[in-house]
């Protein structure tokens, strides 16, 4: 993510993921986040969750917090679906392939598939009495996201001079060794 404009609103990220999934999988009758204590919903369905985040990779150089966000998609089909056990696995496979390197149209790192497995608890720990009527698989992924405002956002400063240093002669002790780059010059 070399772009300095990487500020992400988590609500917008959720919505972009939901919109992308709904567009890619029009057969899903429900695409939403955080099942929100529903005991009944139209299936097939997909509920996404941002389940955790950890310290991200490289500092983006923008004074933003780089995090590795972990997401889950809970894919749900009715148990009366013909060959339901096979169909939920096909859906999980298609979903896994779809999310590979997905950026959701936002300046975030590419989605990295982690795992897909049956959700034996079915239903993210909620409303379990109704979820025995469904086949549920969970697909997990992570991607780098930058939180906070970039110090470069809206900065109209134009760079007028660029200097290059060659390793190992770099840093404050070697400022006199740097060479100015002149546009169009030699």
Any domain includes 183: no
Assigned token pair, 186: 């030699």
- Per-residue pLDDT band at 141 (split at 50, 70, 90): very high
Read off the CATH number of the domain in which 36 is found. Answer: 3.30.2000.10
pLDDT value at 59 more than 90: no
**pLDDT tops 60 at residue 8:** yes
Q: Residue 121 domain-assigned? A: yes
- Look at the chain and report how many structural domains it folds into: 1
Three-state DSSP at 75 gives strand
Average pLDDT over residues 66-88: 93
Residues present in the chain in total: 186
The residue range of the domain holding 77 is: 10-147
Half-sphere exposure in the Cβ direction for 134 (13 Å, CA): 27
Does some domain include residue 31? yes
Q: Exposed, middle or buried: residue 162 (CB in 10 Å: 0-12, 13-18, 19+)?
A: exposed
CB atoms within 10 A of CB 3: 11
**Per-residue model confidence (pLDDT) at position 157:** 60
pLDDT in tens, 12-57: 999 999 999 999 999 999 999 986 666 678 999 999 999 999 998 8
76 domain residue, yes or no: yes
Percent of all residues in the chain with a pLDDT value above 70, rounded to a whole number: 83
pTM: 0.76
Q: Where are the beta strands (DSSP E) in 56-183?
A: 65-78, 112-118, 134-147, 162-164, 179-181
Token pair 């991607």 in the structure block, residue: 143
């Amino acid at each position: 993510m070399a772009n300095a404009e990487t500020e992400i609103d988590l609500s917008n990220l959720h919505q972009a993921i939901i919109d992308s999934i709904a567009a890619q999988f029009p057969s899903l009758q429900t695409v939403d986040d955080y099942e929100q204590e529903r005991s009944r919903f139209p299936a097939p369905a997909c509920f996404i969750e941002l389940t955790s985040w950890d310290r991200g990779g490289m500092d983006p150089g923008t004074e933003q917090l780089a995090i590795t966000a972990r997401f889950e998609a809970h894919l749900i089909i009715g148990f009366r679906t013909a060959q339901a056990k096979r169909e939920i696995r096909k859906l999980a496979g298609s979903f896994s392939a779809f999310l590979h390197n997905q950026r959701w149209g936002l300046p975030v790192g590419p989605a990295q598939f982690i795992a897909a497995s049956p959700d034996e608890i079915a239903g993210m720990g909620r409303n379990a009495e109704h979820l025995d009527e469904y086949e549920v698989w969970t697909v997990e992924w992570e991607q780098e996201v930058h939180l906070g405002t970039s110090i470069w956002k809206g900065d109209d400063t134009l760079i007028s001079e660029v200097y290059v240093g060659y390793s190992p002669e770099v840093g404050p002790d070697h400022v006199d060794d740097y060479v100015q780059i002149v546009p169009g010059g030699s």
